[in-house]
Structure 1
Amino acid sequence: MSFRPMTYIRKKAIPSLIATLLIPQAAFAFSPFVIKDIQVTGLESTEPSMVFSYMPVQVGNTFTEEQASDLIRRLYATGLFNDVKINTANNIVQVNVVERPLITSITFEGMRAFDNKAITTALSQVGFGTGRALDPALLDRATTEIRQQYVVKGHYGVDVTSTLTPLPNNRVGISFTVDEGVSSRIKDINIVGNKAFSESELLDELSLTTPGFMTWYTGTHKYSREKLEQDTETIKGFYLDRGYLDFNMEPPQVTISPNREDISINMTISEGEPYTLRKVQLAGDLLDLNTELESMLIQKPGEVFNASKARETVAAIKNRLGELGYAFATVTPNPVTIPGTTEADLTFFVDPGKRVYVRRIDIGGNVRTRDKVIRREMRQQEAAWYDAAQLTTSQERIDRLGYFNEVQVNQAPVAGTDDQVDIIVDVKEKPTGMINLGVGYGSTDKLSFNGGISQENIFGSGTDLGLQVNTSKRNRAAVITHTDPYWTSSGISRTTSLYYRIDRPYNSNVDQDEDNYRTRSIGLGMNFGVPISENDRIFMGLTFENNKIELPSADSGYIIPKAYRDFVDIYGESTNTFLFNLGWAKDTRDSALAPSKGYYTSLMATAGVGDLKYYMLSAQQQYYLPLGKDYTLAFNLGADYGRSLDSKKPFPVIKNLYAGGIGSVRGYEGASLGPRDLVSGDYLGGSTRVIANLQLYLPFPGTQNDRTLRWFVFADAGKVSVSGKTACTNGNANNGGLVEKPCDWRYSAGVGLSWQSPLGPLQISYARPISAKPGDNKESFQFQIGTAF
């Protein structure tokens, strides 16, 4: 071969392999030479060291034709260059490149079905994102990926286009314009092959539905491939829970209309026959826990096989072994049918693995929150045997702090050992500071406003500080609180509060200035909570309170409640009182907003000393009983009993309790139960109160068991009365009228709706009083809503 003074090797915007194959070998044929120098030009954002790292040779090495081809292939494979040119002259290798633009921004227009973060994450999984070089092939792949994401959600008519905007310094911005089109709706769902169960019964199990009364809210009539796959598994689980071990289901057939708006789904199933268990047994290494583990077998011989109960058994055995340190135990259920019969033997194969202990607990993801705030919630200890129950409790306690959007607790084997694990606690912090403004409306308090500023986990210390202000027709309050959940290392909490409150008596009978009399209270208190178990807590505290009643003069012409004038005559306009409280609470509910199981129990005693001498005993019991997955029966019973500690003075009227309306006995006007004033007819409340509620929650039609929207039927009972020598007054014939037996029981029943709406919690009820007494103020339709913005 003859040596050329200068040789050009160039190929533009094609894959490296094709580039190498298409370049004629004669075009860069040269005699090998010893490299004197290597020069790289054309770089803008790429570091020269990166290009040199792909060099198959260095200065002083011999450069050949094969190495030139290899260099071209390597540089194109990086995806960073549109053009690569190699020059050789005077034993110098010159590498000239043209970089692809760098993607510095990705925006989306017209996209409503997804948030930007979800799509950006999906694109990163296919290698497309900011900070990467613009590869036309990857751009096409990104466009296809966005379209595919929409198809999964049923948007078959989606159109996605991309626009490139050149920017200085060889950069580019990419904008994806999305025309979502119409989301395909499910026209019909057909199930073929079912004999034991009706089609309507099976359709009720599906999350996907045809258009119905509430599907505008739930969106379940919109096709989704993911939901269809879930529904397929749901149908399989439905049959396996009823013993159909031979059940088989073909892949669903999805048919799309020509206009891509309507979808038909056809499911073909083969049921088989239900199998009864002939024998249920354990096998494997039972660790001499035969009797204990056998007691965890939920199903018994003679029962129909149930896959859900088999999974419950697996979970129970694994949890028990996990409590003993067997972190990686496996339990495998194996139902075996008996040929020629409809019987099956169910065997659970147990492999506990090796017992392990926890070497170290690592906490990550906490940027602001101090490690000790998280670590003190851990019930699993380092250098102790692994305990699955303690880890579950630890995760629940960390989650209940309210400082994190996500809490994950995982274990990782320690390399080089078979009896150690590390516990990895990963948290994702959420903003814990909040400024809120709100407006609400209730049947009794009418329009109300509230606002506040709070900071949970202040300075990452795990303590909370807040200011709350609210006002309504009857009440105004401003409260400052500070809570330290770990005032002591043993978990005793301390809450300090300062409040200012104005209360106006309930007056709906006299048309006059509502500001003519009121009670103003200022208080400073400190309360402590002492944990005695994971679900039990004892409360105790002391509050100093100053109360002042502001009444117009006797000759002002205002109609003032006799009970309040009597209070001023006995106790004076201003009183100072120390309030001692002691209580206990136990909470096992699965949710505070929409519980479906568990119970809540509380007992509380409050005693006042000083100008107001009295005591109040309170008790409450709530119980939630799940009736299958769709229904919940709720019970509530509350009782309060108050009495004066001074036999010569009545119970202070400003400490009275009220009932009636939402939250107590529906169907009666708010706060209307109990005694009424002899002069003004105002609702006075009483020193004793009993409330009982029975409520059955049912799924709202068309919402597919959405627990944020439920309707219910209920029955209420309650009474408000007085204690000691205080008379149960029944009002004034001219102001509000007289009520018969105001301190007797009142009953009601009705239906209602509860909804965690975008505007806030909404509750609507329609109740009919039962055996109401003459003079009762009834209010059949009642509602309450709050909102934040």
Structure 2
Amino acid sequence: MTRTPNRRLLALALAAAMAPAMPVLAQSGTPFSLGGVQPDIPTAGSFTVSDIRVDGLQRIAAGTVFTYLPIERGDTVDAARIGDAIRALYKTGFFEDVTIGRQGDILVVAVSERPAINKLTLTGNKDIKTEDLTKGLNDIGLTEGGTFDRLALDRVTQELTRQYNNRGKYNVEITPTVSRLDRNRVDLTINVKEGKAAKIRHINLVGNEKFSEEVIRDTWESQEHNWLSWYRRDDQYSREKLSGDLEKLNNYYLDRGYVDVSIDSTQVSISPDRRDMFISAGVTEGNQYKVSSVEVTGDTVLPKDQVEKMVLVQKDQIFSRRLLEISSDAIIASLGNIGYAFAQVNPIPDVNRDDKTVGINMQVVPGPRVNVRRVVFKGNSRTSDEVLRRELRQFEGSWYSQAAIDRSKIRLQGLGYFETVDVESQPVPGSNDQVDVVYNVKETQSGSFMFGLGFSQLTGLTTSIQLAQNNFLGSGNRMSVNAQRNDYLQRYDFSYVNPYFTDNGVSLGYNLWWKEYDSSDFNTAQFSTTSGAAQTVLGIPISETDTITALFGVDSNEVLTFQGATPPSIINYIDALGQRTFHAWRGEIGWGRNSLNHGLTPTAGMSQRVWLEATLPGSTVEYFKINYNVSKFWPLSRHLVLNTRAELGYGDSYGDSFVRDVCFTPQGAPVDHDNDPTTPMVPAPPPPPPSDPCIPGTSPDYVRTLTADGLPFFENFYAGGTRSVRGFRDNTLGPREAAFAGSAYTQPIGGSLKTVGSVEMFFPTLLDTPAARVSAFVDFGNVFRDLDAFDAGELRASSGVALMWRSPMGPISISYAMPIRKEDDDELERLQFTFGGNF
């Protein structure tokens, strides 16, 4: 009887003795096994580590584990320290499972590594760009080559769903897929089904008695579904947009004196299918207040009376917060232009609800005067810093000026090298009176390269190559080389411009060209020319927006005509002149003003240029041409930009007219007895044979007096085509002439007066890229023989749509136009395409 309880007590005693001697084991996930090796059983719960062994490593080095493990050889460890060690290893994010045990005095660390992300793929996302999503995933830690954490993937899924919900897409589905690979790797695919954004079907304002709902909501970004919603996308619900619209609602009343206005409630409901949204907002208008007094206090720095003139709010006016903001911004801008970068103006209102008045105290706090320590450029991988720095108006070591910084930004945008230019001022750590000005630029294609190879029955084999670079080797210099050749055309051009030949911005350029071509290939009258020129161009800036240009050059042009193919007026001009080669000393002077806000895709500002071109005395023919181009952009809204454009040109001769008597056959062909067009065609002794129809005194009807005056035919203006009046073939508008009497086929011969205009509406937000834009346009214009021939009733007009795209190979322009004012003999071309030109 007594043995049984003794045995039980012995067993309990043995168990109690063995308990603290068991291996210290802390685990998470799959239990760690010592592989069948029986560990030593110490007599206490702690032990001294004689060595450390790490099991289960595949990609991670053992040294990495030892770096994060807070236990070293010779340390005495217990259960608490082992727990801390496990937490430290988990915190690295490298392991899915960590188990620590012991084998004798050896500390055994068994780990299970998290797999590496072999490939990360995003599919189905349209509303949010892939690069934006990839950047967000990198910030979270999901990136190719990194370790895979399922918890991070769950957070990504939740965050993406939230972002799409904020954009009004409540049917979005985010489906992550993890594919296991060998060597402990995974492929991660995140598939996005965005669905359609919920549309706003109804917006209801409650409590607005002074103003109609239509007027209040006119500037809201959130609108009920309408026929323009496909473009404006204003019917798509967004929490951020609605918050901004409610702020506009509050501002609308504050700008009209309703100081006590309050938005009492906002309710947003969604239909069961998550496609329709209904918005309701309640407002309490309150009473209208007037301004009782206006006072400027604080350290104004500038003379107080000068600052007071910037305050637009006056006594006895209806209170307007917008006028207060404008006044504050004007004062801050004025102080910012003289170095006070952190100036503040605090309008302090004193509201008297009994009298319904508001007293305003404009408190000026200038802060410290700030010096610009450095100007830094980021993102200019191709363009050298020197090219950007010479456009700056804010200099290092000078006082901070917001106007100079903004002007520098506009000048950088005007270069045409950058898609975007952003600027920010960064305080210098440890200093309250210094800042660094950082310009972040995104470079775009600043040149074009074209190569063409073709064959036709008419021209045979045609080869062409053109290289144009507005930022040659990142130096800011402009260079262009062009070569083209076929059976009827040879052309070689070279131009080079250094826009900063001198440090103060004087530019110097050179043009060299030689060409031999049949002008009929260019939709003009049929004649051939062989010409060449060498020119020097000088540009002198006279202000931030104004430049004077001057050109001097020498050129030669030999013209060949074809009897029965070339219009008679051209043949008669050459016959009256008595020679076919034109030599000229050419000069040009012009003035230009450019205030556009961007060199490639402007949305505001104006560009205009007027220049006079003339051949100098001593040239074969003395004439002049005057041209005027103007283009103005009017930003109507975020969605619409209007461009109005006009081009005028006029030319005439200023020297003596050429008069010459020429003999003609009865068929109308000129008689050239010695085949030399430089000698008079009037016969000289001995008398010509009887068969000659131009015998003096016997056949006077065949002697004609020809005159060459006015603008030479090869300098005439032309209109029609992608750069003037779209919808009509290039160069086909204006006077036309048949090659011989009775011919139904007429050729464009151009004229000395050109009038072209355009009204074009751009849609900046229609395409989600600054490299392309869509427009609708109305073009009009024509060319007239001279000033006396001008007739407004002869103007042609067309309307259509256009797409302009800065492709990687150069600018591309596509237009489709329908003529709305034309004549029966006009040559139409509705679809037109250009590659490599400017737009």
Q: 1:388, CA displacement in angstroms? A: 1.8
Matched, 1:648 2:657: yes
Specify which of 59, 62, 69 is matched with residue 48 of structure 1: 62
SS of residue paired to 1:50: helix
Query: What is the aligned partner in structure 2 of residue 24 from structure 1?
Result: none
The code of the aligned residue for 1:172 comes to V
Query: What is the aligned partner in structure 2 of residue 444 from structure 1?
Result: none
Q: 1:115, CA displacement in angstroms? A: 2.5
Specify which of 531, 545, 556 is matched with residue 535 of structure 1: 545
Q: How does 1:281-296 map to 2 (within 5 A)?
A: 281-296=295-310
The code of the aligned residue for 1:604 comes to W
Q: 1:97, CA displacement in angstroms? A: 1.0
Matched, 1:404 2:418: yes
Q: How does 1:313-392 map to 2 (within 5 A)?
A: 313-392=327-406
SS of residue paired to 2:111: strand
Mapped partners of 2:483, 2:211: distance in 1: 57
Q: 1:351, CA displacement in angstroms? A: 0.7
- Deviation by residue 1:477-502 (Cα, 9 ceiling, x = unmatched): 87544333223322223343445665
Specify which of 461, 466, 490 is matched with residue 504 of structure 2: 490
- Deviation by residue 1:612-650 (Cα, 9 ceiling, x = unmatched): 432223344556677899998877665544332431342
The code of the aligned residue for 2:411 comes to R
Specify which of 594, 616, 623 is matched with residue 614 of structure 1: 623
Q: 1:599, CA displacement in angstroms? A: 3.7
Q: Which moved more, 1:69-78 or 1:356-365?
A: 356-365
Specify which of 32, 36, 56 is matched with residue 50 of structure 2: 36
SS of residue paired to 1:397: helix
Mapped partners of 2:278, 2:23: distance in 1: 65
- Deviation by residue 1:241-283 (Cα, 9 ceiling, x = unmatched): 3333333335642222112222222233333344333333322
Query: What is the aligned partner in structure 2 of residue 562 from structure 1?
Result: 569
Q: 1:326, CA displacement in angstroms? A: 0.9
SS of residue paired to 1:9: coil
Mapped partners of 1:349, 1:621: distance in 2: 45
SS of residue paired to 1:346: strand
Mapped partners of 2:408, 2:184: distance in 1: 51
- Deviation by residue 1:731-771 (Cα, 9 ceiling, x = unmatched): xxxxxxxxxx73345476989566556784647577569xx
Mapped partners of 2:316, 2:489: distance in 1: 63
Query: What is the aligned partner in structure 2 of residue 603 from structure 1?
Result: 610
User: Does structure 1 conserve the Cα–Cα contact (< 8 Å) formed by 2:734 and 2:782?
Assistant: no
The code of the aligned residue for 1:687 comes to S
Query: What is the aligned partner in structure 1 of residue 527 from structure 2?
Result: 517
Query: What is the aligned partner in structure 1 of residue 752 from structure 2?
Result: 687
Q: 1:107, CA displacement in angstroms? A: 0.5
- Deviation by residue 1:670-729 (Cα, 9 ceiling, x = unmatched): 8687655486665444334566x69697999999xx996676889x78884537xxxxxx
Query: What is the aligned partner in structure 1 of residue 588 from structure 2?
Result: 581
Q: 1:330, CA displacement in angstroms? A: 1.1
SS of residue paired to 1:12: coil
Q: Give me the TM-score of the superposition, normalised by structure 1.
A: 0.80
User: Does structure 1 conserve the Cα–Cα contact (< 8 Å) formed by 2:26 and 2:83?
Assistant: no
Q: 1:601, CA displacement in angstroms? A: 3.5
The code of the aligned residue for 2:177 comes to T
User: Does structure 2 conserve the Cα–Cα contact (< 8 Å) formed by 1:407 and 1:425?
Assistant: yes
| CA shift in 2, pair 1:272/1:497, >3 Å | farther
User: Does structure 1 conserve the Cα–Cα contact (< 8 Å) formed by 2:729 and 2:828?
Assistant: no
User: Does structure 2 conserve the Cα–Cα contact (< 8 Å) formed by 1:212 and 1:702?
Assistant: no
SS of residue paired to 2:573: helix
Query: What is the aligned partner in structure 2 of residue 12 from structure 1?
Result: 28
Query: What is the aligned partner in structure 1 of residue 786 from structure 2?
Result: 722
Mapped partners of 2:347, 2:580: distance in 1: 75
Query: What is the aligned partner in structure 2 of residue 232 from structure 1?
Result: 246
Mapped partners of 1:29, 1:612: distance in 2: 118
The code of the aligned residue for 2:627 comes to S
Specify which of 277, 280, 291 is matched with residue 291 of structure 2: 277
User: Does structure 1 conserve the Cα–Cα contact (< 8 Å) formed by 2:722 and 2:833?
Assistant: no
User: Does structure 2 conserve the Cα–Cα contact (< 8 Å) formed by 1:457 and 1:464?
Assistant: yes
SS of residue paired to 1:113: coil
Matched, 1:549 2:559: yes
Specify which of 104, 109, 116 is matched with residue 95 of structure 1: 109
| CA shift in 2, pair 1:275/1:482, >3 Å | farther
Specify which of 790, 793, 815 is matched with residue 743 of structure 1: 790
- Deviation by residue 1:493-540 (Cα, 9 ceiling, x = unmatched): 3343445665747999xxxxx885355654443323222221111212
User: Does structure 1 conserve the Cα–Cα contact (< 8 Å) formed by 2:527 and 2:566?
Assistant: no
Query: What is the aligned partner in structure 2 of residue 151 from structure 1?
Result: 165
| CA shift in 2, pair 1:494/1:240, >3 Å | farther
| CA shift in 2, pair 1:435/1:633, >3 Å | closer
SS of residue paired to 2:789: coil
Mapped partners of 2:828, 2:257: distance in 1: 47
| CA shift in 2, pair 1:435/1:240, >3 Å | farther
The code of the aligned residue for 1:643 comes to D
The code of the aligned residue for 1:539 comes to T
| CA shift in 2, pair 1:478/1:186, >3 Å | farther
SS of residue paired to 1:230: helix
Mapped partners of 1:767, 1:608: distance in 2: 39
User: Does structure 2 conserve the Cα–Cα contact (< 8 Å) formed by 1:506 and 1:684?
Assistant: no
Mapped partners of 1:308, 1:749: distance in 2: 47
User: Does structure 1 conserve the Cα–Cα contact (< 8 Å) formed by 2:719 and 2:781?
Assistant: no
| CA shift in 2, pair 1:158/1:673, >3 Å | closer
User: Does structure 2 conserve the Cα–Cα contact (< 8 Å) formed by 1:456 and 1:463?
Assistant: yes
Mapped partners of 1:702, 1:204: distance in 2: 20
Specify which of 268, 271, 274 is matched with residue 260 of structure 1: 274
| CA shift in 2, pair 1:72/1:196, >3 Å | same
| CA shift in 2, pair 1:7/1:550, >3 Å | farther
Matched, 1:526 2:536: yes
| CA shift in 2, pair 1:385/1:665, >3 Å | same
Mapped partners of 2:585, 2:61: distance in 1: 74
Larger Rg: 2
| CA shift in 2, pair 1:29/1:371, >3 Å | farther
The code of the aligned residue for 1:542 comes to F
Q: 1:591, CA displacement in angstroms? A: 5.5
The code of the aligned residue for 1:722 comes to D
User: Does structure 1 conserve the Cα–Cα contact (< 8 Å) formed by 2:753 and 2:784?
Assistant: yes
Mapped partners of 1:528, 1:217: distance in 2: 46
SS of residue paired to 1:11: coil
| CA shift in 2, pair 1:615/1:456, >3 Å | closer
Query: What is the aligned partner in structure 1 of residue 156 from structure 2?
Result: 142
| CA shift in 2, pair 1:144/1:437, >3 Å | farther
Aligned-pair Cα RMSD in Å: 4.4
The code of the aligned residue for 2:329 comes to A
The code of the aligned residue for 1:242 comes to R
| CA shift in 2, pair 1:275/1:466, >3 Å | farther
Query: What is the aligned partner in structure 1 of residue 237 from structure 2?
Result: 223
Specify which of 58, 71, 75 is matched with residue 61 of structure 1: 75
SS of residue paired to 1:654: helix
| CA shift in 2, pair 1:607/1:516, >3 Å | closer
The code of the aligned residue for 1:64 comes to D
Mapped partners of 1:349, 1:564: distance in 2: 80
SS of residue paired to 1:60: coil
Q: How does 1:52-201 map to 2 (within 5 A)?
A: 52-201=66-215
SS of residue paired to 1:301: coil
SS of residue paired to 2:268: strand
Query: What is the aligned partner in structure 2 of residue 20 from structure 1?
Result: none
Mapped partners of 1:140, 1:699: distance in 2: 39
User: Does structure 2 conserve the Cα–Cα contact (< 8 Å) formed by 1:494 and 1:529?
Assistant: yes
The code of the aligned residue for 2:28 comes to K
Mapped partners of 1:306, 1:753: distance in 2: 44
Once the two structures are aligned, what percentage of the paired residues are identical?
29
**Structure 1: gaps (5+ residues):** 15-26, 439-448, 509-513, 724-740, 770-775
